[in-house]
Structure 1
Amino acid sequence: MIIRGSLTHVLPIDDVSQVGHARRTAQKLAEKQGFDERDAGRVALVTTELASNLLKHAGRGELHVRVLPRPQGGGIEVLTVDRGKGFDLNACLADGYSTGGTQGIGLGAVSRQAQAFDAYADARGAVLLARFYPRTDTQPDWRFGVSQHSLHDDPACGDTWLLAANDTGISALVIDGLGHGEEAERAAQAGESMFALAPFNDPLLLLEDMHRAMQGSRGGAVAIAQARLDSGSLRFVGVGNVSASVLSAEKSRGMASHPGIVGGQYRKAQPFDYDGISGQLLIMHTDGLQSRWSVKDYPGLVHCHPAVIAAVLHRDFCRGRDDVTVVVIALEAVNG
């Protein structure tokens, strides 16, 4: 299975009138993915509840929507992000709890309507996640998360990413095209298209192929991480300033990249191998995100769904002066 990069669709929620727009947007997106009336209705109902809950406890925030490609069809991710004062998750998850102005299903019912639900809240704000798949899709949720945003909401984004999974492992790519805008996007897409042809090839050979594909463009920074889940090992190779780390609740291991520009000039890269990665998290991000973050500053966050982690990191550490991409992957079997 291959999932190619796409921007996060962001809907501002700062007025009750925008709740209806968010509901219609999510429902139409679900229908385009083949959701029947009942399943699309679940997406609409939960989107209304999450957006209304955001207004009630934070006053304003954002609703993020993403299509989740599957071997057949696709799913829908709905995620709310705010900078409010947080709220009591246990109270909100209790049956009978109702947010004002909604149909009153409560977050407890939301968690049962969605195939995947998670949340994180503290004094810095809250992130709530709901993922939906058609009832005919019985495959488990792939525990990855992506938050990708272009500078000033430009339709062109100089960052791109790709995830591939097979029976024994995961291969992940993040590219940061030099600069931003259309030329940076062309550079990143040239490298991503080459990588997609054989994402489980030797990473050094992949890097060389991508280098040739990106010549004549601006070039960019590239990071490739290939996890072998059967052996609990990971191989990483990077050129440029895409950051990567493997972490658990106890420790974090940063991964070293080499200086240079793929498609421009770089010295021969060297891969690095890491053992004992099973059950841990792989986090990769472009330099649109500050490097000085630590999940230890967020008690319990490391145990949350990767999509929640990606959204929290983007909310609190986005520099605001470049495209930004955060990819978080649970290093565990994808097909359950």
Structure 2
Amino acid sequence: MNIGGSMTQVLVIEDNSQIGHARRTAQNLAQEHGFDATDAGRVALVATELASNILKHASRGELHLRVIPRASGAGIEMLAIDRAQGFDLHACLADGFSTGGTQGIGLGTVSRQAEVFDVYADSRGAVLLTRLYPRTDKAADRRIGISQHSLHQDPACGDTWHLAFDGPRISALVIDGLGHGEEAERAARAGEKAYAMLPFDSPLLVLQDIHLSMTGTRGGAVAIAQFDAGSDALKFVGIGNIGACLVAPDKSRGLASHPGIVGGQFRKAQPFDYAQVSGQLLIMYSDGLQSRWNLADYPGLVHRHPAVIAAILHRDFCRGRDDVTVLVIALEAAHG
């Protein structure tokens, strides 16, 4: 199965009138992707509660929406993100508790309606994750998180990503086309198209195909990671400034890339092999994200859903002057 890159849809929540817009947007998105009236109604309810919760305890925040392609159909991901003071999660999940003078049914309702519910909150703010799938879709949730945003909400994004799944194997791509805007997007999409043809081929051969496809465009930075749960090993090759690291609860290590421009010039490309990586997080990101972050500064975050991690890294470390992509994958056999 292949999942092509797409941007995160961002809805600003800072006024009561925007709650209804969030509800309608999420419900329409669900209906467009095969949710029946009942399941689309669940999506609408959760969107309403998440947007309301932002206003209740933070006054302002964002609702991030994403479609999650599946082997059959799709799911809807919604993240409520704010920068307010932390709140008592366990108390807020209890029905009847409220900090905003309301009935306090919000988060308890959300956790029961969503197939996936996770949250991280500290003094820097909160991120609440929900994923909803049609009731007929019994496939397991993939522990992968993506946050991708264009500069100034431009409809064109010079970053792209792609994921491929084949039994116990995962192949992941991140490309950052030089600059931003339509020409950068054209370069990145040319590379993604080549990658999607044979994502599990030798990484050097895949990189060469991408290079040929991006020749004649602006070119860009490229990173490819291939994980095999069967052999518990990861291969990585990168050209340019795509950041990548493996994060375990007790340590973190960076994955080395070579200088150069794919589609332009680079001297060499050498894949690196990493063994015994199961249970770790693979994090790949374009240079729209600052590199001086450390998950250890967020106690317990390494154990949260990858979508929560991706959202927090984007919230706290986005440079604000380029397109940005953050891809987080929990390396585990369950993806197969």
TM-score normalized with structure 1 length: 0.98
| Matched letter for residue 24 of structure 1 | R
Offset from partner CA, 1:288-309 (integer Å, 9 cap, x none): 0000000000001000000000
Contact 2:243 2:286 survives alignment (8 Å): yes
Deviation at 1:163, TM superposition (A): 0.8
The one-letter code matched in structure 2 to 1:172 is: A
Letter in 2 for 1:309: I
Cα offset, 1:103, TM superposition: 7.5
Shift of 1:152: 0.7
Residue by residue over 1:177-203, the C-alpha shift from the partner in whole angstroms, topping out at 9 and shown as x without a partner, is: 000000000000000000001111110
Counterpart of 2:332 in 1: which secondary structure? coil
Q: 2: distance between equivalents of 1:99 and 1:63?
A: 20
2:241–2:257 contact (8 Å) kept in structure 1: yes
Give the match for residue 217 of structure 2: 217
User: What is the aligned partner in structure 2 of residue 47 from structure 1?
Assistant: 47
Over the residues paired in the alignment, what is the CA RMSD in angstroms? 1.2
Aligned letter for 1:294? N
Distance 1:181 1:141 in 2: 33
Whole-Å Cα distance in 1 between the matches of residues 14 and 284 of structure 2?
31
Q: Is the 8 A contact 1:220 1:240 kept in 2?
A: yes
Using the TM superposition, give the Cα deviation of residue 47 of structure 1 relative to its aligned residue in structure 2, in angstroms: 0.8
In structure 2, the residue matched to 1:236 is: 236
Alpha-carbon distance in structure 2 between the residues aligned to 1:95 and 1:196:
46
How far apart are residue 166 of structure 1 and its match? Answer: 1.3
Which 5+ residue runs of structure 2 have no aligned equivalent? none
Structure 1 counterpart of 2:141: 141
CA distance in 2, matches of 1:255, 1:126: 29
**8 Å contact from structure 2 (residues 75, 133) kept in 1:** yes
**What is the deviation of 1:109?**
2.6
Task: Give how far 1:248 is off.
Answer: 1.0
Which aligned pairs between 1:80-119 and structure 2 lie closer than 5 A?
80-98=80-98, 100=100, 104-119=104-119
Q: Is the 2:50–2:80 Cα contact (8 Å) retained in structure 1?
A: yes
The residue type equivalent to 1:225 in the other structure is A
Q: For structure 1, which runs of at least 5 residues remain unmatched after alignment? A: none
With over 3 angstroms needed to count, the CA separation of the structure-2 counterparts of 1:21 and 1:102, relative to structure 1, is: farther
Q: Which residue of 2 aligns with 1:270?
A: 270
Structure 2 CA distance for aligned equivalents of residues 115 and 102 of structure 1? 25
> Separation in 2 of the partners of 1:265 and 1:54?
47
Aligned in 2, Cα 1:171/1:101: closer, same or farther, shift over 3 Å?
Answer: farther
Aligned to 1:37: 37
Encode CA deviations 1:207-248: one digit per residue, 9 max, x unaligned: 000000000000000000000111111000000000000111
Q: CA deviation at 1:106?
A: 2.7
Given residue 115 of structure 1, which amino acid in structure 2 is its aligned partner? E
8 Å CA contact 1:96–1:106 kept in 2: the answer is no
CA distance in 2, matches of 1:269, 1:151: 29
In the alignment, the residues of structure 1 paired with residue 86 and residue 8 of structure 2 have an alpha-carbon distance, to the nearest angstrom, of 23
**Size of the alignment, in residue pairs?**
336
Give the superposition deviation at 1:112: 1.6
On the 8 A contact 2:95/2:104 being kept in 1, the answer is no
Instruction: Tell me how far apart the structure 2 counterparts of residues 176 and 27 of structure 1 sit (CA, whole Å).
Output: 32
Question: Does the 8 Å contact 1:260/1:266 carry over to 2?
Answer: yes
Runs of 4+ residues deviating >4 angstroms: 98-104
What are the within-5 Å matches in structure 2 for residues 44-83 of structure 1?
A: 44-83=44-83
